[in-house]
Amino acid sequence: MERAMSVEDKIRRAEQRYYMRREQEMSPRETRIGELKRSSKKKDIKLFKKMIKQIIVCLFIYGVFYLVVNSNYIFSEDFTNKAKEILSQDINFAEIYSTISSNINDIYNKMISNDNTKGSDNQEKAVTPNDDTPNNEVKQDEESNQNAQPEAQQENSGEQVQQENVSKEDIQNNQENIGGAAEETEVNVELSQMEKDVNYIKSVTSFIKPVNGTISSMFGPRNPTTASVPKNHTGTDIAAVTGTKIVSATDGTVIYTSSQGDFGNHLKIQINDVIILYAHCNKIYVKEGDTVKQGQEIAEVGLTGNTTGPHLHFEVIYQDRRVNPQLLVEL
């Protein structure tokens, strides 16, 4: 057959064998190339995800840096002044320890008294007779009680006569002792921290009314209509017309003046360890280091800072505790 095939047929057959061998040799290579392409695609997806994560982290860091640099409140003068004020105030640890120890002693004494009362009640219950006595003994006791009633009545009548005589003597003695010195009983009344602070401040200095006006907001908790107004009021607000003169409620030294923050134009006057704050002023007449007298004009009523109307915010501070000004002076 091969001898009968023409040259062209031989060439075609040779080409077919060549192509078949080539396809057999190329098939594993193509599979390898496909796997390489798939692995490269997976690697590209992983790299893309990492790149996106890095971009998000960079944007977050940039945003934080931008907020810190462009924030005027974090490093403002008012913030730094408040931080310095808090750090400069002294904390009386001895007084804190004494108050805590006194409270613990009171609780301990109350517990002991309750235990004693419970013990006395248990003793009274133990003394009460049992109901398990035999019937014969009960009958004998009833008979003896009936026989003893006349004698008991006689004894009771004698005791009543003696009691009447004694009561008459007591009445006569009481009538004779009218106008004499009565016995005094000491009553230990625990004062609150606010009352202790008020008593101390009154012993150190006296107060006068700092401005003529009406009270618009009292000391303590309140329900404001605006979100910017704090719910816990640390002083007393006295409403007055803008420009009304403010006088110093006490003697003292001006330790601080500022126009920053929610208090607007405000100043602090210290006498001993008591600090008086005058806030939301229109003008301040004194400066730090000045010595002022009680009744001296120090500022004007204004509308500066976080406020809804012209008034004076009058605040008294003792050992970092706010004291109700209305307990110190009639406003």
Together in a domain, 62 and 84: no
Q: List Cβ neighbours of 187 (8 Å cut-off, separation of 6 or more).
A: none
State yes or no: pLDDT of 159 exceeds 80.
no
Together in a domain, 64 and 108: no
Is 86 part of a structural domain of the chain? yes
- The answer to whether residues 253 and 289 touch, using CB atoms and an 8 Å cutoff, is yes
Count: domains in the chain:
3
State yes or no: pLDDT of 134 exceeds 50.
no
Together in a domain, 109 and 214: no
pLDDT grade for 42, boundaries at 50, 70 and 90: confident
Tokens describing residue 243 = 């420009």
Of the three residues 124, 146, 166, the one that is the final residue of a domain is: 124
Of the three residues 60, 90, 124, the one that is the final residue of a domain is: 124
* pLDDT tens for each residue of 139-153: 455 555 555 454 545
Together in a domain, 31 and 95: no
Is 185 part of a structural domain of the chain? no
In whole angstroms, give the CA distance from residue 194 to residue 214: 24
Of the three residues 70, 91, 116, the one that is the final residue of a domain is: 70
More confident call, 204 vs 157: 204
State yes or no: pLDDT of 41 exceeds 60.
yes
Q: Report the CATH number at residue 249.
A: 2.70.70.10
Looking at residue 76, what is its pLDDT? 61
Together in a domain, 224 and 314: yes
* Structure letter (DSSP) for residue 326: G
Is 159 part of a structural domain of the chain? no
Together in a domain, 214 and 114: no
Together in a domain, 84 and 100: yes
Together in a domain, 271 and 287: yes
In whole angstroms, give the CA distance from residue 263 to residue 309: 13
- The answer to whether residues 200 and 318 touch, using CB atoms and an 8 Å cutoff, is yes
Together in a domain, 38 and 85: no
- Exposure of 305 by Cβ count < 10 A (0-12 exposed, 13-18 middle, 19+ buried)? middle
Is 197 part of a structural domain of the chain? no
Is 152 part of a structural domain of the chain? no
Mean of the pLDDT values across residues 115-129? 57
Together in a domain, 251 and 281: yes
Together in a domain, 56 and 78: no
Q: List Cβ neighbours of 240 (8 Å cut-off, separation of 6 or more).
A: 211, 212, 213, 214, 301, 310, 311, 312
State yes or no: pLDDT of 84 exceeds 50.
yes
State yes or no: pLDDT of 166 exceeds 50.
no
Range of the structural domain that residue 43 is part of: 10-70
Together in a domain, 323 and 214: yes
In whole angstroms, give the CA distance from residue 220 to residue 230: 11
Q: Of all helices (H) and strands (E), which one includes residue 6?
A: none
Mean of the pLDDT values across residues 51-68? 87
Is 183 part of a structural domain of the chain? no
Is 275 part of a structural domain of the chain? yes
Tokens describing residue 201 = 């401040």
State yes or no: pLDDT of 277 exceeds 90.
yes
In whole angstroms, give the CA distance from residue 252 to residue 267: 12
Looking at residue 93, what is its pLDDT? 72
% of the chain surpassing 70 pLDDT:
66
Looking at residue 130, what is its pLDDT? 47
pTM exceeds 0.75? no
Is 154 part of a structural domain of the chain? no
